[in-house]
Amino acid sequence: MILHKDIKTIDQYIDLFPSEIQIILLKIKDCIQETAPQSTEAIRYSIPTFRLNGNMAYFAAYKNYIGFYPSPSAINKFSKELKPYKTLKGTIQFPLNQPIPYDLIKKIVAFRVAEQTHKKMKKILIANRGEIAIRVMKTAQKMGIKTVAVFSTADRHAPHVKFADEAVCIGEPPSTQSYLKGDKIIEVAKKLQVDAIHPGYGFLSENAEFAELCEQNNLIFIGPRSKAIKIMGSKLAAKEAVKHYNIPMVPGIDEAITDITKAKSIAKEIGFPILIKASAGGGGKGMRIVEKERDLESQMNRAISEAMSAFGDGSVFIEKYVSSPRHIEIQIMADSHGNVLYFFERECSIQRRHQKVIEEAPSSILTSELRKKMGEAAVKVAKSCDYLGAGTVEFLLDAHHNFYFLEMNTRLQVEHPVSEIICHVDLVELQIRVAKGEALPMKQDDIKIHGHALELRVYAEDPFNDFLPSVGHLQRYKLPVGEGVRVDNGFEEGMDIPIYYDPMLSKLITFGKTREEAIQIMIKAIDEFQVEGVETTLPFGKFVFEHEAFKSGNFDTHFVKKYYSPKILKEQTETEAKIAALIAVKQYLEDLKLVRLPNQ
């Protein structure tokens, strides 16, 4: 028998109650721990409870009834939902035959967490480089928040270092010695009394261990909780999480597989062609399309080997290959008060090597009804992992406009500007506000589509040579300007392109009242974008935007395979150069005539 004064844990306390009460109390405990993973067990008035930021809250149990105490303010907030229960001094009392709904407990705990953790962010460290670091800093400065940049020795003179209020070198050029050193970044943050860390995209942005490290050091991680990152970081775990929400998924298996005989049996059942995918994959790595059974074994071995090499995890799974797909993703934002909103879709079907190059919003083929269905499905995906912050839910859309859940990216996407433009929002500002514990300031019905936006990722890659990286010195680097043009940039004229990182120089974004207007502004902006010293994807972008398949909206993820080759691009570029030369000669002759007129 446990004496009341000897009780040191919640489980010991729960053991004192009859089994029917224990079931309810254990469920309450699970709800609290799931919603407030940063809380710890504590003792108050001989009753075990939870502690968060030095405050007690959440758990209660008494001899004659069971209860739950979130705080008087939380009871006031949820007074309508709590009407069936007795409430007094921050305690909710409910009878055994009517236990409080566990979803409501989660909402109340989330409110209390926000209430206890809400604080002003006076200083943010951006654990990234290039254009995304500057993008985050601009919003932070607009909000009156000081910024700290971190940089490698290769980025010592980079624009993001100059743009920040403070900057600290964290290591040598390789990312493993600088931008991926989470412990070093935490050390800098604590030394400079930083309140929060924004990871940007790439590097540590989807690293659950880093998110946990921030939490352990009382630093706000401006992103989702580590649990959500873990779930959605594994395609298999993600499928398991969302399958209870009736979200369409591509036919296949929901478990890792390495047995060739079993794989052949499954492939025959769902029908060729099939797709082998790495569970921890991304960017096309560990992915193989298999058209025929005889190729299955060799392709599966390659996929496993590549997945192990790239991610340290060789688990793969099999699903039906969707031919002629469109890649559609939905931008979502979730707060700690139970609100999840979607900011419509982005079309990301133009890809090279399974990686996005061109994005647009909205998609040219979605009906308003389909858009709503996909948006609501994305919200369910976010709720399936108790999401917080900005995220993107990716879907495949087949030729018959059936959509299938693909994966969730637990970070701010590279292509977020097109969503910002058409929805008239600052997604980085919303990220910061929900990380502070604030509720989203709008409702779903408030979010409307305004016009059309396009984005071209300007990579230092050679489109005339299979998009190989183009390393060199930016001898000339002039950005386009004008109405309907936005450039999120991370470089300056005179800089060298480091070999250690992703070769993206900037993002060229254009927008107009219509898709056609946005395309015309984009083509003009590409012509005005001046880069000398390295090859870029600008010529490829112009090729795409001028192509009839893109202009008509009749394209899929096979656009590059169907229509593009370095030879075609070279021929088109040479033709344009000849036409430009002829126009220049004609203009010269006309100018010459004007000059001679006074002598006639």
Q: What is the pLDDT of residue 122?
A: 95
Residue 286, domain member (yes or no): yes
Q: Which amino acid is at 55?
A: N
Question: Is residue 512 a contact partner of residue 521, using CB atoms and an 8 Å limit?
Answer: yes
How much of the chain, in percent, has pLDDT values that exceed 90?
60
Residue 228, domain member (yes or no): no
Q: Residue 88 maps to which CATH number?
A: 3.90.1150.200
Q: What is the pLDDT of residue 180?
A: 98
Give the pLDDT confidence of 201-220 residue by residue, as tens digits. 999 999 999 999 998 898 99
- Model confidence at 368, pLDDT cuts 50, 70, 90, reads very high
Q: Which amino acid is at 40?
A: T
Domain count, the chain: 5
Question: Which of 69-83, 160-174, 218-232, 244-258 comes out lowest in average pLDDT?
Answer: 69-83
Q: How far apart are CA 257 and CA 452, in angstroms?
A: 43
pLDDT at 512 over 90: yes
Q: Does 154 lie in the same domain as 99?
A: no
pLDDT at 238 over 60: yes
Q: Which two tokens stand for residue 457?
A: 């990722």
Q: Does 32 lie in the same domain as 181?
A: no
Q: Does 311 lie in the same domain as 212?
A: no
Q: Does 576 lie in the same domain as 554?
A: no
Residue 502, domain member (yes or no): yes
Q: Does 531 lie in the same domain as 586?
A: no
- Please state the rounded mean pLDDT for residues 406-430: 98
Residue 229, domain member (yes or no): no
Q: How far apart are CA 400 and CA 325, in angstroms?
A: 10
Q: How far apart are CA 117 and CA 128, in angstroms?
A: 25
Size of the chain, expressed as the number of residues it contains: 600
Which contiguous run of DSSP H or E holds residue 80? none
Give the pLDDT confidence of 460-485 residue by residue, as tens digits. 999 999 999 999 999 999 999 999 99
Domain containing residue 592: 565-600
Residue 445, domain member (yes or no): yes
Q: How far apart are CA 338 and CA 483, in angstroms?
A: 38
Q: What is the pLDDT of residue 35?
A: 82
- Model confidence at 45, pLDDT cuts 50, 70, 90, reads low
Q: Which residue has the tokens 């979200």?
A: 247
Q: Which of 320, 336, 358 is the last residue of a domain?
A: 320
Q: Residue 281 maps to which CATH number?
A: 3.30.1490.20
Q: Does 307 lie in the same domain as 211?
A: no
Q: Which two tokens stand for residue 600?
A: 């006639």
Q: Judging by DSSP bridges, how do beta strands 452-459 and 47-52 pair with one another?
A: unpaired
Q: Which two tokens stand for residue 484?
A: 């309907």
Q: Residue 370 maps to which CATH number?
A: 3.30.470.20
Q: What is the pLDDT of residue 287?
A: 85
Q: Which two tokens stand for residue 341?
A: 């909103």
Q: How far apart are CA 240 and CA 19, in angstroms?
A: 30
Q: Among 123, 275, 290, 271, which Cα is nearest to 194's?
A: 123
Most confident region among 79-88, 437-446, 502-511 by mean pLDDT: 502-511
- Model confidence at 397, pLDDT cuts 50, 70, 90, reads very high
Residue 511, domain member (yes or no): yes
Angle, helices 102-117/19-35, rounded to nearest 10 degrees:
40
Q: Does 365 lie in the same domain as 502?
A: yes
Q: Which of 80, 96, 117 is the last residue of a domain?
A: 117
Q: How far apart are CA 363 and CA 291, in angstroms?
A: 29
Residue 236, domain member (yes or no): no
Give the pLDDT confidence of 134-161 residue by residue, as tens digits. 999 999 999 999 999 999 999 999 999 9
Q: Which two tokens stand for residue 580?
A: 């430009």
- Please state the rounded mean pLDDT for residues 81-106: 75
Question: Which of 106-110, 279-283, 417-421, 444-448 comes out lowest in average pLDDT?
Answer: 279-283
Give strand pairing partners of 452. Answer: 512
The CA distances from residue 33 to 221, 338, 412, 494, in Å, are 18, 16, 26, 52
Which contiguous run of DSSP H or E holds residue 420? helix 416-423
Residue 429, domain member (yes or no): yes
The CA distances from residue 38 to 69, 127, 213, 227, 409, in Å, are 18, 22, 11, 11, 23
Q: Which of 129, 135, 326, 411 is catalytic?
A: 411
Q: Judging by DSSP bridges, how do beta strands 123-126 and 196-198 pair with one another?
A: parallel
Q: Does 215 lie in the same domain as 181?
A: yes
Q: Does 46 lie in the same domain as 147?
A: no
Q: Which residue has the tokens 């000849």?
A: 578
Q: Does 11 lie in the same domain as 92?
A: yes
Question: Is residue 388 a contact partner of residue 346, using CB atoms and an 8 Å limit?
Answer: no
Average pLDDT in the chain = 89
Q: Does 107 lie in the same domain as 69?
A: yes
Where does 331-405 have alpha helices with state H?
Answer: 368-384
Q: Does 477 lie in the same domain as 390?
A: yes
Q: What is the pLDDT of residue 1?
A: 43
Q: Which of 117, 148, 175 is the last residue of a domain?
A: 117
Q: Residue 185 maps to which CATH number?
A: 3.40.50.20
Q: How far apart are CA 388 and CA 332, in angstroms?
A: 10
pLDDT at 527 over 90: yes
Q: How far apart are CA 134 and CA 455, in angstroms?
A: 18
596 is catalytic: no
Between 175 and 215, name the one with better pLDDT: 175
User: Residue 208 in 3-state DSSP?
Assistant: helix
Q: What is the pLDDT of residue 251?
A: 85
Q: Which amino acid is at 569?
A: L
- Model confidence at 343, pLDDT cuts 50, 70, 90, reads very high
User: Residue 298 in 3-state DSSP?
Assistant: helix
Give strand pairing partners of 506. Answer: 458, 489
Q: Judging by DSSP bridges, how do beta strands 504-512 and 452-459 pair with one another?
A: antiparallel
For the question of whether the overall pTM of this predicted structure is more than 0.85, the answer is no
